[in-house]
Amino acid sequence: MIPKSLNIYGETYKVKIVKDKPDAMDCAGKNHSKSKIIYIKEDEAEEMFHTYLHECFHGVFEEGRLNEAVEDGLEEVIIEQLVKFLLKHFTVKPK
Ligand SMILES: [Zn+2]
């Protein structure tokens, strides 16, 4: 259900499912944009997919340079709203 990698605007992000939280991972996931790795904490499939989408959008903000215009707290709010809306009203699955 969750791919091992994802291309975001030309940058390849690896996706790693982890049992323990990596450093500085304070929630269910982490997008380490410098190393292009998305970490997702092992959980139920639905929860992990939510986290995966959330971290993908952080990649969109990073690679689309939206993060230069939007401060971090607001980025979190925008992403969570988008993910919740998508999952509620659409069937979302990786290609
Ligand atoms: Zn986030």
pLDDT tens digit sequence for 15-46: 999 987 666 666 789 999 899 999 999 999 99
Strand order through the sheet with 11-18:
5-8, 11-18, 37-41, 29-32
CA of 52 to the centre of ligand 1 (A): 10
Model-level pTM greater than 0.85?
A: yes
What are the Cα distances from residue 92, in Å, to 25, 27, 31? 25, 22, 20
How many angstroms separate the CA atoms of 95 and 91, rounded? 12
CA of 58 to the centre of ligand 1 (A): 7
As a CATH number, domain 5-89 is 3.30.2010
CA of 75 to the centre of ligand 1 (A): 8
CA of 95 to the centre of ligand 1 (A): 22
CA of 54 to the centre of ligand 1 (A): 6
Identify the residue whose tokens are 């509620």. Answer: 88
Q: What is the pLDDT of residue 27?
A: 77
How many angstroms separate the CA atoms of 25 and 57, rounded? 16
Residue range 67-81: mean pLDDT, rounded: 95
CA of 46 to the centre of ligand 1 (A): 17
Are 1 and 45 in contact by the 8 Å Cβ rule? The answer is yes
What is the residue extent of each domain of the chain? 5-89
Where does the pLDDT of residue 1 fall: very low under 50, low under 70, confident under 90, or very high at 90 and above? confident
